[in-house]
Amino acid sequence: MISNRLIKVRERKGIWVVVGVLVVLAVLAVLAILFSEDRKDERGTDTIAPSADQLLVLEGELQPQRATVVRARSAGEVEKWLVERGAPVVEGDVLVQLMAGERRIKLGSAQARVNIAKQQLLVTRHLVADGSEPEANLAGAQAEMDAAQAELAAIEETMDVTRVQATSAGRVEALLVEAGDRIEEGSEVARIVSADPLRVTVQVPQSSIGRVVMKQPAQVRVSGHGTVDGRVSHIEEDVDPAAPTVRVDIEITGVDQRFPAGAAVEVRFAAK
């Protein structure tokens, strides 16, 4: 009896040992699968990112396509600015108002003279028509009306030059005078840049110029402003012997007007 019991105990112990071994093997198998999946994810990520030799990464400079200096058409004292730095403008917008106190008084007097001459002309026409006054008086009233209108037009022209206007559409990059400044005719008052399209200039090493072609896509990263897409718009034919490098221009359209002209940028050319 005792021997039979010992045999049964040993059999039970053997079964538990086998079960334990199977559990350990199962755990190890699960861990192996998880580890294999992680390695696959890492390898998958590596294959998505382009290798270093597939990209050409260079430093460039962001430049406005066109810059315009606005000049005063008359001497005078700056009364006030009507726009702020960075504001978008169109051709003809008034940027600065010069002092025009005396001109405004003359303008009021000339307008009053026109109004009086107009009324006098109407009255004279009625009097001449019913025979109360001679025809010569009508000619005199008309001459006074013409003179009054000519004076008003001349003063309005002088008033116009006290308003400094934008000569092109774009963004006000710089205000070059302040309220109270005394300026002369031809003085620089403001600078306007057309920020769309923008042009990025980059110097490509001569050894890498074969990797750049016209209309090739490029990504331009402006620090603090994000990344925008552009295309190669010009490749200089001559090589700068001092570097040696080749100038390449990239044109960017439809960008935020707040992009700072002259800023350093990073340019990434995709592999051809």
User: Where does CATH 1.10.287.470 sit in the chain?
Assistant: 100-161
Best CA proximity match to 100, nearest among 178, 159, 154, 177: 159
Q: Which helix H or strand E contains 221, and what residues bound it?
A: strand 217-222
pLDDT in tens, 160-218: 788 899 988 888 988 999 999 999 989 999 999 875 678 899 999 998 898 999 999 99
pLDDT digits (tens, 9 = 90+) for 253-262: 766 556 666 7
Task: Report, as an integer, the average pLDDT of 110-133.
Answer: 91
- Each residue of 141-151: pLDDT tens digit? 999 999 999 99
The mean pLDDT value of the chain amounts to 80
Domain 52-65+194-269 classification at class level: mainly beta
The two structure tokens encoding residue 134: 């001679």
pLDDT tens across 29-64, in order? 656 665 554 444 444 433 334 444 557 889 888 876
Q: What is the pLDDT of residues 55-84, one digit of tens each?
A: 788 988 887 667 889 999 888 889 999 999
Q: How far is CA 252 from CA 154, 231, 248, in A?
A: 46, 7, 13
- 220: β partners: 228, 267
Q: Which two tokens stand for residue 96?
A: 């600065």
Residue type, 20: G
CATH class held by domain 100-161:
mainly alpha
Give how far the C-alpha of residue 150 lies from the chain's centroid of Cα atoms, to the nearest Å.
44
Question: Tell me, what's the pLDDT at 136?
Answer: 87
**Cα(171)–Cα(168) distance, rounded to whole angstroms?**
9
Please choose, from the candidates 193, 196, 255, 197, the residue with its C-alpha nearest in 3D space to the C-alpha of residue 226.
255
Q: Is the pTM of this model over 0.85?
A: no
Smallest CA-to-CA distance from 269 within 216, 190, 194, 226 is with: 216
Looking only at the bridges linking them, the beta strands covering 76-81 and 94-98 are antiparallel
Where does CATH 2.40.30.170 sit in the chain? 52-65+194-269
Q: Hey, what are 105's tokens?
A: 């008084």
**Torsion angle, alpha carbons of 166, 257, 253, 170, to 10:** 0
